[in-house]
Amino acid sequence: MSSDQVLDINLLGNPEAAQTTLATGLPDSVKPVIDAQDVTLYVGDEYDPKQGVTATDDRDGDVTDSVQVTANDVDTSQAGTYHVTYSVKDAAGNIATKTITVTVEDNGWENYQVGNVTDIKPIMPGVITIEGQTDYNINSQIPEGTNIYAEAVRTNDGFNRSIGRAEINYELGTFSITVFKNVTLAEGDKIGVYLLARNGYEEKWGPIFMTVVSANGSVSE
């Protein structure tokens, strides 16, 4: 009888320990297990193929750090069905692979998420234009037939009252809103600006960017 087949007599009363002793004395032929799920994205999304992917091995434990991406044809610039293949090897040399499907869908109006106002130039008392920057640029994916406006509202009493609207400059992502003639901006006025997307009769709104009219030109978000 070989030494691998002999159990320490002290383990005879402990079946679990005996089983572990036997298992570790045998050759390791069990592959690791990769946990990776199919993914759905929208055109223009960023994609990290390793995000959320883990791997475990019956003897080595967590082997996530050893996971490799061996194939990846994902192109988030256009809709389609793509695939990513992963591989991981344990200390004994057992190799596991797994392939997932990545679906990139058109960022049409139904799924469209309106972008953000990212900056507003300081608003001084009495100014007649509100200027700022958005996260749009000439390469942004905008649903066909959609127009995007920057709208300014005054929120002093907790209600959003529109004080001006202007379509954004798509190439630069900037806007310049001319304040309505009957509106006079005073120090301390709370002003919010957000993006509004209109497609036919439907509208969607983006997050609001808040600022305060200030004599010293400071902007508070």
Which of the 8 DSSP states describes residue 65?
G
In a domain, 220, yes or no: no
Which of the 8 DSSP states describes residue 143?
-
Give per-residue pLDDT as tens, 190-202: 999 999 999 999 9
Residues 96 and 162 in one domain: no
Three-class SS of residue 25? Answer: helix
Q: Which of 105, 129, 155 is the last residue of a domain?
A: 105
Give the ranges where 81-207 is alpha helix by DSSP (H): none
> With bands split at pLDDT 50, 70 and 90, how would you rate the model's confidence at 111?
confident
In a domain, 79, yes or no: yes
Strands (E) in the chain, as ranges, are 33-35, 39-42, 54-57, 61-62, 68-72, 80-89, 95-105, 117-120, 129-134, 146-154, 161-167, 174-178, 190-199, 202-205, 209-212
Residues 139 and 201 in one domain: yes
Residues 161 and 205 in one domain: yes
In a domain, 122, yes or no: yes
Residues 41 and 83 in one domain: yes
Highest mean pLDDT among 21-25, 112-116, 141-145: 112-116
> With bands split at pLDDT 50, 70 and 90, how would you rate the model's confidence at 13?
low
In a domain, 111, yes or no: no
pLDDT exceeds 80 at position 7: no
Please report the pLDDT score of residue 23 as a whole number: 55
Kindly report the CATH number assigned to the domain that includes residue 40: 2.60.40.10
In a domain, 18, yes or no: no
When pLDDT is averaged across residues 24-53 and rounded to a whole number, the result is 89
In a domain, 140, yes or no: yes
pLDDT exceeds 80 at position 218: no
Residue 33's alpha-carbon distances to 66, 94, 100, in angstroms, are 12, 11, 14
Residues 180 and 98 in one domain: no
> With bands split at pLDDT 50, 70 and 90, how would you rate the model's confidence at 112?
confident
Residues 121 and 101 in one domain: no
Residues 101 and 135 in one domain: no
Number of domains in the chain: 2
pLDDT exceeds 80 at position 16: no
Residues 124 and 157 in one domain: yes
Residues 131 and 91 in one domain: no
pLDDT exceeds 50 at position 69: yes
Residue 22's alpha-carbon distances to 1, 11, 151, in angstroms, are 14, 11, 72
Q: What's this model's pTM, rounded to 2 decimal places?
A: 0.56
Average pLDDT, the chain: 86
In a domain, 16, yes or no: no
Residues 164 and 187 in one domain: yes
Per the structure, the complete domain to which residue 67 belongs is given by: 31-105
> With bands split at pLDDT 50, 70 and 90, how would you rate the model's confidence at 166?
very high
Residues 192 and 134 in one domain: yes
In a domain, 5, yes or no: no
